[in-house]
Amino acid sequence: MSEKIDKADDPETSDKTRAQYESFPYPARDAKDEDKRLVVGSPGNWDEVVHFVFGGRDPSAKNKKIRILVAGGGTGDGLVMLAQQARDRKVKAEIVYIDLSTASREIAEARIKRRGLEKNVSFVTGSFVDLAGEYGPFDYIDCCGVLHHLPDPDAGLKALADALKPKGGMGLMVYGELGRTGVYHMQEMMERLSAEAGGSKRLALGKALYDALPGTNWLRRNPFVGDHVHGGDAGFYDLLLHQQDRAYRVDEVFDFVEKAGLRLLQFIEPMRYDPTTYCSRHDVLEKAAHVPFRQRAALAELMAGNITKHTFYVTKAGNKVKPPMPDRDAVPFFVRVDGVSLARSVAKTGHIKITFTGLSVTRNLPPASPAILTRIDGKRTVGEIYDLFDPKPEKYEFDAQFAVMFAVLNAANLMYLHPAN
């Protein structure tokens, strides 16, 4: 179902943004590719959403209908992923897609039709700042890579917060400042050149300018951004030539969220926001260990220098939901990794190796980890996994080793929990 609403949250800038995405829908996608792959990621991985936003208890369980908003859905990556997951799980889901760009919506709609997912998806062309409340309330809102392009991001997030059910939550992504070093220099250079307002002439000048940059330029030296190299014209334009674009540091993300009456639950890939990931000196870490989560995350961002975007989950400030704890009644399960292969690798090396935007991180796992990993099937509770051991280790020792192992894998987004049924 499609609908066009001629409203805009702000005039001039919204018109520029709309014009850009009419000319260069982003990211560039072809509906035929749906036959061979599903684009996945965060936010919007439903296991992840349930773990962080709903305390491990799926709101769509027991045949309950859920309502989802994809705000600023672009060419449809998040939309397609959420709709496909809903069908795979045989969930009753009503999904509303809202975006300013007709060209982007047409691509998203074609991808949904290619997969035969159109039954539960409604398409609306317009500004979600104006329309989210009209179509709400929602259990879950997905807004990835959009708020930082609004003329007033605070108003945009507040509009989404107001469209959220009391116990609902959101998955958000905004640009990170430090990992995008050089991007805003490029945008400033275009302004100083009084570059064309938009379209192919602006793209041509932008490419000519980029080609002329010396090797000392910060953008040339930044290996953490690549859309201008690998993303075609749409990727080049979106990264370097956008005329409504801002980035956030960790402290600004917290302020942004709190101003909208929301609470930040967790950053995705939590390990990246932990100073211990980057430093092993006890004299430094002892200081870091005693500061609140916000300060620790801000310190980690400064230490890493490679965070190009912040992906995180939020809920209303008054919602005290917490992710499930690794107690005896919790059911652990793998995400994005094959448990058997992981167990085999850990048995050989004693550790797990993860790469985050060019940075390789190694984490040691407790000795019992391989045996625990082979017994995780997504159905057994932690207590039932313990009962499978023969001979049985001391309960306190097993619990301690499981907790350490889970903390590492959860911080890498490889393992979550849900309560036993």
Q: Does 105 score more than 90 pLDDT? A: yes
Question: What are the tens digits of pLDDT across the range 207-229?
Answer: 999 999 999 999 999 999 999 99
Closest CA to 219 of 241, 250, 197, 204: 241
Supply the pTM of this predicted model.
Answer: 0.93
**Model pLDDT, residue 6:** 37
**Model pLDDT, residue 244:** 87
Question: What are the tens digits of pLDDT across the range 308-349?
Answer: 999 999 999 999 999 999 999 999 999 999 999 999 999 999
* 46-53 helix and 77-88 helix, angle to the nearest 10 degrees: 90
**Model pLDDT, residue 1:** 52
- CA 123 centroid distance within chain: 22
Question: What are the tens digits of pLDDT across the range 110-134?
Answer: 999 999 999 999 999 999 999 999 9
Q: Does 410 score more than 60 pLDDT? A: yes
What mean pLDDT value characterizes the chain? 93
**Model pLDDT, residue 286:** 85
**Model pLDDT, residue 4:** 40
Q: Does 387 score more than 90 pLDDT? A: yes
At a CB cut-off of 8 Å and minimum separation 6, what does 151 contact? Answer: 9, 10, 13, 14, 244
Measured distance CA(17)–CA(20) in Å, rounded: 5
Question: What are the tens digits of pLDDT across the range 6-22?
Answer: 334 445 556 778 888 99
Share of the chain above pLDDT 70, in %: 96
Per-residue pLDDT, averaged over 250-256, amounts to 98
| CATH classification code of 2-175 | 3.40.50.150
| Inter-CA distances, 345 with 338, 348, 370, 373, 408, Å | 11, 5, 8, 11, 15
| Inter-CA distances, 336 with 33, 161, 344, 408, Å | 21, 29, 16, 15
At a CB cut-off of 8 Å and minimum separation 6, what does 369 contact? Answer: 343, 346, 401, 405
Q: Does 293 score more than 70 pLDDT? A: yes
**Model pLDDT, residue 2:** 47
Per-residue pLDDT, averaged over 182-190, amounts to 93
Residues in the chain: 421
Phi, psi of 150 (to 5 degrees): -85, 150
Question: What are the tens digits of pLDDT across the range 80-100?
Answer: 999 999 999 999 999 999 999
Closest CA to 240 of 273, 267, 205, 283: 205
Share of the chain above pLDDT 90, in %: 84
Per-residue pLDDT, averaged over 159-170, amounts to 98
Q: Does 5 score more than 60 pLDDT? A: no
**Model pLDDT, residue 13:** 57
Residue type, 210: Y
**Model pLDDT, residue 15:** 78
Question: What are the tens digits of pLDDT across the range 36-71?
Answer: 999 999 999 999 999 999 999 999 998 899 999 999
What are the residue ranges spanned by the domains of the chain? 2-175, 178-241, 330-419
**Model pLDDT, residue 66:** 97
Phi, psi of 285 (to 5 degrees): -70, -30
Strand 309-316 and strand 164-175: the pairing is: antiparallel
